[in-house]
């Protein structure tokens, strides 16, 4: 193990990274709160400010992936579609089997210049995660309870609001609705069988209603669906903790651009179309398993320096006062103050560990474990 690698695996480094993320995140959340009065005067200005503030948070996580861990992200796509990425609104359909798949998505958002404005149809529980969840509130992220009777109206209303969004955005949809586990796969294949649908090997059966409502609500706003299939080389199972430890992974993403006009308007036909799409995605994964690559040429955008610059900026800004505080603390010699500070730091570390836990598959919800959704998480 090299010296740098050894340094990256040190707990103290992780503490410093988490401190910068936590404190900068809370400052940015506060600044986002201050944009509320701006909404009353100019909604579009408030949205533009929030895009930039959100970038300051999400790009720190991208910097961990791109610059700290040095993870390589390779894009397989059609050279004719490539120039359009980042220059139009799009609905992104992605497989959901990895703990950091959202972060790989963010990395591509960053490289195509839409990181600050990127959106997702997320489970409601994530809205309560400090920093990221609070940031999403100001970004007009669409939340769902994964109960169609309740979601049908709220999801449609939230999507309609994006029609006049001032900057290009990608809207991410994990149609599988939950992360892949062998148990969930088995249950969803029972559902597929009962519905007379072909079985999938690498994906859960997609939930079609959210896709249909998204396509219908964003018709005329989004130009295309980006069908995206992600995998990692050498059967790597990447984790956020692995990234923090400086572990380098190798992500491969296959993106096909499908113009929105090609997607049927009728709900039933749209559902059939999505099932067919997932059968194709399954065949791409099979190809990957056999050959170690996706079909088509590689057109990888290079990483940009902005996420690193943003990270260094916040680190410099926040580490200096921390240094001063620590010096004062030690020189004060007060046992009570030192014990209280250690307690605050421990509580903050536990908080961050809980946030990281949100990304872990072993802590996944029960949704999809039974044919009739449990919706208890
Ligand atoms: C190019 C790079 C990428 C760029 C990335 C861009 C942007 C990034 C931005 C942000 C990144 C942050 C990432 C955060 C991640 C957070 C993501 C999540 O939270 S995922 C979970 C929430 N999202 C979803 O669930 C979306 C998919 N779901 C849907 O669309 C659902 O339809 C729904 C709208 C949520 C409604 O849910 P409900 O459970 O009520 O579903 P349905 O009515 O659809 O389901 C009932 C239907 O399904 C059948 N059924 C029953 N059991 C199962 C089962 N186990 N598997 C499959 N199907 C099942 C049942 O028989 C019903 O069938 P039918 O419809 O025929 O009646
Ligand atoms: C600079 C970096 C510092 C790192 C330290 C702090 C990191 C804190 C990170 C918190 C990230 C919280 C974002 C959560 C995104 C989780 C995405 C996800 O994968 O959600 C799961 C759902 O899709 C489905 O849920 P399940 O039904 O599978 O259950």
- Distances in Å between the Cα of 158 and the Cα atoms of 143, 144, 281, 365 are 8, 10, 28, 24
Q: Are 300 and 74 in contact (CB under 8 A)?
A: yes
Confidence of residue 371 (pLDDT cuts 50, 70, 90): low
C-alpha span between 194 and 254 (Å, rounded): 30
pLDDT over 90 (residue 2):
no
The number of the ligand nearest the C-alpha atom of 240 reads: 2
Q: Ligand 1 mean position to 16 CA, how many Å?
A: 36
Q: What is the dihedral of CA 368, 373, 374, 377, to 10 degrees?
A: 60
Domain ranges for the chain: 71-304
Quick one: which atom of ligand 1 is closest to the CA of 255? 1
What secondary structure letter does DSSP report for 363? Answer: G
pLDDT at 373 over 60: no
Nearest CA to ligand 1 atom 17: 122
Ligand 2 neighbour 146 (Cβ under 6 A) = no
Task: Quickly state the pLDDT bin for 377 (edges 50, 70, 90).
Answer: very low
pLDDT in tens, 66-118: 999 999 999 999 999 999 999 999 999 999 999 999 999 999 999 999 999 99
CATH of the domain spanning 71-304: 3.40.1130
Percent of the chain predicted with pLDDT > 70: 98
17 CB near ligand 2 (under 6 Å): yes
Alpha helical stretches, state H, 118-181? 132-138, 148-160
| DSSP element (H, E) containing 106 | helix 101-111
Rg of the chain, C-alpha, whole Å: 22
* Ligand 1 probe mutation, 91, 165, 207, most atoms within 8 A of CB: 207
pLDDT number for residue 375 = 45
User: What would the mean pLDDT of 284-299 be, rounded to a whole number?
Assistant: 96
Instruction: Judge whether 240 and 62 are in contact, CB under 8 Å.
Output: no
| Ligand 2 site, residue 69, Cβ cutoff 6 A | no
With 50 as the cut, is the pLDDT of residue 7 above it? yes
Q: What is the mean pLDDT of the chain?
A: 95
Non-local CB neighbours of 311 within 8 Å, separated by 6+ positions: 20, 59, 60, 63, 67
User: 3-class DSSP state for residue 205?
Assistant: coil
Ligand nearest to the CA of 94: 1
Q: Provide the residue count of the chain.
A: 377
CA dihedral (221, 225, 231, 233) positive or negative: negative
Split at pLDDT 50, 70, 90, the class of 372 is low
Q: What is the pLDDT of residues 215-260, one digit of tens each?
A: 999 999 999 999 999 999 999 999 999 999 999 999 999 999 999 9
Q: Hey, which of 132, 175, 315 would you mutate to test ligand 2's pocket, going by the most ligand atoms within 8 Å of its Cβ? A: 132
Each residue's pLDDT tens digit, 304-321: 999 999 999 999 999 999
Give nearest CA residue, ligand 1 atom 39: 146
């Amino acid at each position: 193990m090299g010296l740098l690698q050894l340094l990256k695996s040190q707990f103290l480094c992780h503490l410093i990274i988490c401190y910068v993320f936590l404190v900068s995140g809370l400052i940015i959340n506060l600044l986002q709160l201050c944009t509320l009065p701006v909404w009353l005067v100019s909604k579009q200005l408030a949205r533009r400010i929030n895009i930039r503030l959100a970038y300051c948070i999400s790009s720190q996580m991208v910097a961990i992936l791109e610059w700290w861990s040095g993870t390589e992200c390779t894009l397989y796509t059609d050279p004719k579609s490539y120039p359009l990425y980042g220059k139009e609104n799009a609905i992104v359909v992605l497989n959901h089997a990895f703990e950091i798949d959202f972060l790989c998505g963010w990395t591509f958002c960053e490289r195509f210049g839409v990181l600050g404005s990127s959106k997702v149809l997320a489970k409601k529980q994530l809205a309560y995660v400090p920093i990221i969840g609070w940031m999403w509130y100001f970004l007009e992220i669409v939340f769902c309870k994964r109960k169609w009777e309740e979601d049908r109206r709220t999801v449609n209303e939230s999507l309609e609001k994006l029609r006049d969004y001032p900057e290009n955005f990608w809207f991410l949809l994990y149609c599988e609705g939950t992360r892949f586990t062998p148990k969930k796969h088995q249950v969803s294949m029972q559902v597929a069988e009962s519905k007379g649908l072909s079985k999938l090997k690498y994906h859960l059966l997609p939930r079609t209603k959210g896709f249909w409502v998204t396509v219908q609500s964003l018709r005329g706003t989004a130009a295309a669906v980006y069908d995206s299939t992600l995998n990692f080389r050498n059967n790597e199972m990447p984790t956020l903790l692995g990234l923090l430890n400086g572990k380098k992974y190798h992500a491969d993403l296959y993106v096909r651009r499908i113009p929105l006009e090609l997607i049927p308007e009728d709900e039933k036909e749209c559902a059939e179309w999505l099932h067919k799409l997932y059968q194709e995605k399954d065949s791409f994964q099979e190809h990957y398993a056999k050959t170690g690559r996706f079909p088509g040429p590689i057109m990888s955008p290079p990483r940009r320096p902005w996420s690193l610059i943003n990270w260094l900026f916040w680190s410099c800004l926040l580490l200096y006062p921390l240094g001063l505080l620590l010096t004062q603390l030690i020189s004060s010699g007060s046992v009570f103050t030192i014990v209280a500070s250690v307690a605050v730091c421990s509580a903050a570390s536990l908080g961050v560990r809980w946030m990281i836990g949100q990304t872990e598959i072993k802590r996944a919800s029960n949704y999809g474990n039974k044919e009739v959704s449990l919706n208890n998480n």
